[in-house]
Amino acid sequence: MADSKIIVLDFGGQYANLLARRVRELGVYAEIALPDMPLEKLKEAKGVILSGSPYSIASPETPAFNPGIFASKLPILGICYGMQLIARETGGKIGKCDKKEFGKAEMTVLGESPVFMGLPEKSIVWMSHHDQVVEMPKGFEAIGTTEICKIAAMANEKEKIYGMQFHPEVAHTEFGMEIIANFVLDVCGCKKEWSMEGYLDKAIADIKQKAGGKKVLLLASGGVDSTVTLALLARALEEEKIFALHVDTGLMREGESGAVEKALGELELGQQLKVVDYSKEFFKELGKTIDPEKKREIIGRLFLDATKKEVEKLGFNENEWVLAQGTIYPDTIETARTKYSDRIKTHHNRIEEIAKLVEKGAIIEPLSELYKDEVRELGKLLGLNDELVWRQPFPGPGLGIRVLCSDGKALEKKVSAEEKKAKEIAKKHGFGACILPVKSVGVAGDLRTYRHPVLLSGELDWEKLETASIELTNSLSEINRVVFLAAPGSVKKAKAKKAFLDEKRAELCRKADSIANRIVLAKGIQAGIWQFPVILLPIDIDKKGEAIVLRPVQSKEAMTAEFYRMEPEILRQMASEIAKIKGIGAVFYDITNKPPGTIEWE
């Protein structure tokens, strides 16, 4: 295998592991390593990829790396921060962009570089950066350009060193896979030797070793990740050693816990399944918490507390059992559990206490290196049915992070100061605009953001709305999201409202979610939607009630996403039905891609 290995040096970018995953997708083995890896080790690879980073290349403290790499004669591909590092280390110059550039951009190919072989002259690439190369080092030429980023890609063909400001590894870069294949197979000359079957054998052996004869208790949400984990456990261990626990948090979708019990039961994997109701504890502890990170920590801890209590009831003593989770790679990277990454959000299965178990090797997480689409592939390989394999992702914290909370404070001055510019940009594209008094989490240049959305109103035209959305989030420093007013026709005043997470608000969100879900299924559009969060905002609309946000997205592995363009007639029906719910004053439609938004709002 080492014959055809690619090493990805991880500077902490959100997509470092995704780069390795893309290489594996080509059938070539790829490994992640820290950037200061010794040269002898690096030289075992046929090529090196330098990832992006949450650090600015100009900051005094950046991740340590091995400068010998640039004289190693190995082919190098630097992505985003990686490109800027190449430029800085070999005599180029870096500067700030005049405008920020997050999400979609159109790149024009220049010249005939082998890494862009087979690409059309113009194609869509995905950007996420504040800095960029403004002067190339000697020996390099520009091979790609966008409107905002003149040197979007550069190459030193003689030394086989390439830099790309955009991210070829994300599914939304139109010809990303072709570019990676050109680098890995043609420039580096790798052979295709890696497979999911090989991964399966390794995962089974790993589970056996980690369980070491103990009982294994799996937290089963009923989603694809925990179900595939269960199927793996069933392949690796004796039936009586496997226990599955489903915790009903009171923050599930309508009928979810019942459906999970049925689906897991039908699987006949031999597990002993227990469904327990902890909804009272969840509502009580979440009480008046507003900060999304605090909410996530509480939820993670409550899952663990529930597990411990149930283990006690089962009568297992401490050294007799080990915990298993269906954690996948994005959960780890977004929680900043890799050395240099920024915390975008704490996934419920990655709180501090769990991280300690991971460090000690005391937890079984056979999917922790994989992405959602790889998990689905593994699920199919294990013989799970399509219905289970293709279930829409639903986050562990459930409605806990979809019902937003607020202390009711109005917009800060520095935010309302941006409203004039927001209105100007919106008007240029034919829309009315206002900034909403609520914040949501986003991701920009590998860093977490926590900013406000702009509400646009006017005629539904997805093309124009997307252009306006991109311009607003790229131009305004307090904005990371844009929503469109789907119902009613107009809104006079959107006022911040003091509101917390309680059963009543959870029920309101659940009702809207259930209507959206029913219409999606009735119209047969579910296959085009990767995930469809429905969110409740603590905003009072013209004294009529709170606002619901519809957030259907298209994605492949959740690291990037594009908002879904729903047929106007279907959206009209959905919005008007939801707007009729007592307590709902308006329905918004999220028109933000990821980046600069995230799929969920918290």
The residues carrying an active-site annotation are 80, 167, 169
Stretch that binds ligand XMP, among 92-100, 175-183, 208-216, 342-350 (CB under 6 A): 342-350
Burial class (CB in 10 A: 0-12, 13-18, 19+), 339: exposed
In which region does residue 14 sit, left (phi positive, over 0), alpha (psi from -120 to 50) or beta (all else)? alpha
Contacts with 528 (C-beta within 8 Å, 6 or more apart), sequence order:
554, 564
Give the x-and-dash track for 299-338 against ligand XMP (CB under 6 A). Answer: -------------------------------xx--x----
Tell which positions 525-564 bind ligand XMP, by CB under 6 A: 531, 558
Name which position in 54, 132, 594, 595 contacts ligand XMP (CB under 6 A): 594
Residue 599 engages ligand XMP in binding (rule: CB under 6 A): yes
The nearest distance, CB 558 to ligand XMP, in angstroms, is 4
- In this structure, what are the phi and psi dihedrals at residue 352, rounded to the nearest 5 degrees? -45, -50
Stretch that binds ligand XMP, among 200-208, 282-290, 389-397, 426-434 (CB under 6 A): 389-397
CB-nearer residue toward ligand XMP: 83 or 443? 443
Residue 176 engages ligand XMP in binding (rule: CB under 6 A): no
Tokens 């124009």, residue located: 464
Name which position in 222, 396, 453, 595 contacts ligand XMP (CB under 6 A): 396
Residue 598 engages ligand XMP in binding (rule: CB under 6 A): yes
Q: Whole-angstrom Cα distance, residue 271 to residue 273?
A: 6
Name which position in 47, 250, 397, 585 contacts ligand XMP (CB under 6 A): 397
Alpha-carbon torsion, ordered 555, 559, 562, 567, to 10 deg:
40
Stretch that binds ligand XMP, among 17-25, 115-123, 344-352, 497-505 (CB under 6 A): 344-352
CB-nearer residue toward ligand XMP: 345 or 439? 345
Residue 348 engages ligand XMP in binding (rule: CB under 6 A): yes
CB-nearer residue toward ligand XMP: 28 or 599? 599
The nearest distance, CB 389 to ligand XMP, in angstroms, is 15
In which region does residue 223 sit, left (phi positive, over 0), alpha (psi from -120 to 50) or beta (all else)? beta
Instruction: Sort strands 215-219 and 242-248 into parallel, antiparallel or unpaired.
Output: parallel
User: How many amino acids of this chain bind ligand XMP (CB under 6 A)?
Assistant: 17
Q: Whole-angstrom Cα distance, residue 602 to residue 600?
A: 6
In which region does residue 212 sit, left (phi positive, over 0), alpha (psi from -120 to 50) or beta (all else)? left
The nearest distance, CB 594 to ligand XMP, in angstroms, is 5
**Side-chain-side CA neighbours of residue 27 (13 Å):** 6
Q: Whole-angstrom Cα distance, residue 446 to residue 97?
A: 16
3-state secondary structure 486-497: EECCCCCCEEEC
Name which position in 63, 395, 442, 458 contacts ligand XMP (CB under 6 A): 395
Residue 458 engages ligand XMP in binding (rule: CB under 6 A): no
Residue 222 engages ligand XMP in binding (rule: CB under 6 A): no
Burial class (CB in 10 A: 0-12, 13-18, 19+), 50: buried
Residue 505 engages ligand XMP in binding (rule: CB under 6 A): no
Residues 505/537, Cβ–Cβ less than 8 Å: no
Name which position in 160, 167, 347, 376 contacts ligand XMP (CB under 6 A): 347
The one-letter amino acid at 437: P
The nearest distance, CB 250 to ligand XMP, in angstroms, is 16
Stretch that binds ligand XMP, among 176-184, 275-283, 390-398, 568-576 (CB under 6 A): 390-398
Instruction: List contacts with ligand XMP (CB under 6 A).
Output: 330-331, 334, 345, 347-349, 393, 395-397, 531, 558, 594, 598-600
